[in-house]
A and B are shown apart, each in its own frame.
Chain A
Amino acid sequence: MKNVEIPGDAPRRFNTWRFAVPIFLTVAAVLYLVPVYVLLTTSLKSMAEVSRTSVWALPRRPTLEAFREAGLALAPGLKNSVLLTVPATIISSFLGSLNGFALAKLRFKGADLVFALILFGMFLPYQVVLIPLVQLLMRYRLYGSILGLIVTHVVYGLPITTLMFRNYYTAIPGELLEAARIDGAGLVTFYRRILLPLSVPGFLVAVIWQFTNIWNDFLFAVTITNDPRSQPVTVALQGLAGSLVARWHVQMAGALLAALPTLVVYIFLGRYFIRGLLSGSLKG
Chain B
Amino acid sequence: MSPQKRDELAAIALVMPSFFLILIFVYGFIAWTGYISLTDWRSMIPSYNLVGLRNYAELFALPRFQADIRNTVVFTMLFLPGCTILGLALAMLIDTGIKRGGAFFQNIYLFPLSLSFVVTGTVWAWIFNPTAGLNVLLERIGLGFLRSGWITDPKMALFSVAVAAVWQMSGFAMASYLAGLRGIDNELREAARVDGAGEWETFRYIILPMLRPVTMSVLVMLGHSSLKIFDLIFVMTNGGPANATDVPGVYMFVATFLQDLFARGACIAMVMLGMVTSVIVPYLVRQMRREVSV
Chain A's closest residue to B202 (CB) is A6
Tell me whether B126 is interfacial, beta carbon within 8 Å: yes
Q: Which residue of A lies closest to B13 (CB)?
A: A102
Stretch of A107-115, A142-150, A193-201 lying at the B interface: A107-115
Check B265–A131 contact: CB distance below 8 A.
Answer: yes
In Å, the complex CA distance between A131 and B41 comes to 12
A240 to B124, CA, bound (A): 16
Chain B interface helix/strand/loop/mixed = helix
Contact across chains for A132 and B19 when beta carbons are under 8 A apart: no
Q: Is B259 an interface residue (CB 8 A)?
A: no
Pairwise interchain contact A106-B8, C-beta atoms closer than 8 A: yes
How far, in Å, is A196 (CB) from chain B's closest CB?
14
Q: How many residues on chain A are close to B (CB under 8 Å)?
A: 100
Is the Cβ of A8 less than 8 Å from the Cβ of B11?
no
Looking at chain B, what size class is its interface with the partner chain?
Answer: 35 or more
> What residue of chain A has the Cβ atom nearest to residue B279's Cβ?
A123
Which residues of A241-284 are within 8 A (CB) of B? 241, 248, 251-252, 254-255, 258-259, 262-263, 265-267, 270, 273-274, 277-278, 280-284
CB distance from A41 to the nearest CB of B (A): 11
Contact indicator B116/A259 (Cβ below 8 Å)? yes
Q: Any chain A CB within 8 A of the CB of B58?
A: no
Do B90 and A3 touch across chains, with their CB atoms under 8 A apart? no
Q: Are A181 and B117 in contact (CB under 8 A)?
A: no
Q: Contact: A162 with B18, CB < 8 Å?
A: yes
Q: How many whole Å from A148's CB to the nearest CB in chain B?
A: 13
Give complex CA distance A114, B120 in Å. Answer: 36
Measured CB to CB, the nearest residue on chain A to B170 is A32
- As a 0/1 sequence over residues 108 to 135 of chain A, the CB contacts with chain B under 8 angstroms (1 = contact) are 1101101011111101111111111101
Please determine whether A128 and B33 come into contact, CB atoms closer than 8 angstroms.
Answer: yes
CB distance from B282 to the nearest CB of A (A): 12
Decide: A123 and B276 in contact? CB cutoff 8 A: yes
Q: Is the CB of A280 within 8 A of B221?
A: yes
- Given A35-B123, A128-B272, decide whether A6 and B29 contact each other with a Cβ distance below 8 A: no
Q: What CA separation (Å) do A2 and B25 show in the bound complex?
A: 44
Does A176 reach chain B (CB closer than 8 Å)? no
Are the C-beta atoms of B19 and A3 separated by less than 8 Å?
Answer: no
Also in contact, A108 and B12, with CB within 8 A (given A33-B108, A159-B22): yes
Contact at B227–A55, with CB atoms within 8 Å? Answer: no
Q: Assess whether A25 is in contact with B97, with CB atoms less than 8 Å apart.
A: yes
Q: Is B146 an interface residue (CB 8 A)?
A: no
For chain A, what secondary structure do more than half of its interface residues adopt (helix, strand, loop), or is it mixed?
helix
Whether A171 sits at the interface, judged by CB under 8 Å, is: no
A101 touches B (CB below 8 Å): yes
* Interface: A53 (CB within 8 A): yes
* Chain B residues within an 8 Å CB radius of A33: 108
CB B196 to nearest CB in A, in angstroms, measures 11
- Per the 8 Å Cβ criterion, residues 180-206 of B in contact with A are 182, 186, 189-190, 193, 198-199
A219–B266 touching, CB < 8 Å:
no
Q: Is A80 an interface residue (CB 8 A)?
A: no
Chain A residues within an 8 Å CB radius of B273: 124-125, 128
Instruction: Specify which chain A residues have a CB less than 8 angstroms from the CB of B280 in the assembled complex.
Output: 120, 123
Known: A119-B284, A158-B18, A238-B235. A55 touches B172 (CB 8 A): no
Q: Report the minimum CB–CB distance from B148 to chain A (whole Å).
A: 15
Closest CB in chain A relative to B75 CB, distance in Å: 15
**B96 near A6: Cβ-Cβ < 8 Å:** yes
Q: How far is the CB of B116 from chain A (nearest CB, A)?
A: 4
Q: Report B248-268 residues with CB < 8 Å from chain A CB.
A: 248-249, 252-253, 256-257, 262, 265-266, 268
Interface status of B157 (Cβ within 8 A of chain A): no
Q: Which of A1-22 contact B (CB under 8 A)?
A: 1-8, 10, 13, 17, 21-22
Measured between C-beta atoms, what is the minimum distance from B26 to chain A in Å?
A: 5
Residues of A participating in the B interface, judged by any CB pair closer than 8 Å = 1-8, 10, 13, 17, 21-22, 24-25, 28-29, 32-35, 38-39, 42, 53-56, 95, 98-99, 101-103, 106-109, 111-112, 114, 116-121, 123-133, 135, 155-156, 158-159, 162, 181, 187, 212, 215-219, 222-223, 234, 237-238, 241, 248, 251-252, 254-255, 258-259, 262-263, 265-267, 270, 273-274, 277-278, 280-284
Show 16 residue pairs from A and B whose CB-CB distance is below 8 angstroms, ordered by the A residue. Answer: A1-B103, A2-B102, A4-B182, A10-B199, A25-B94, A38-B123, A95-B18, A98-B18, A117-B23, A131-B32, A132-B28, A155-B25, A181-B3, A218-B234, A274-B175, A280-B221
Give 18 new A-B contacts, CB below 8 A, not counting A34-B127, A127-B252.
A4-B186, A8-B190, A10-B198, A38-B123, A53-B132, A55-B129, A106-B8, A120-B281, A127-B272, A128-B33, A129-B29, A132-B33, A155-B22, A241-B235, A258-B118, A262-B114, A282-B287, A284-B214
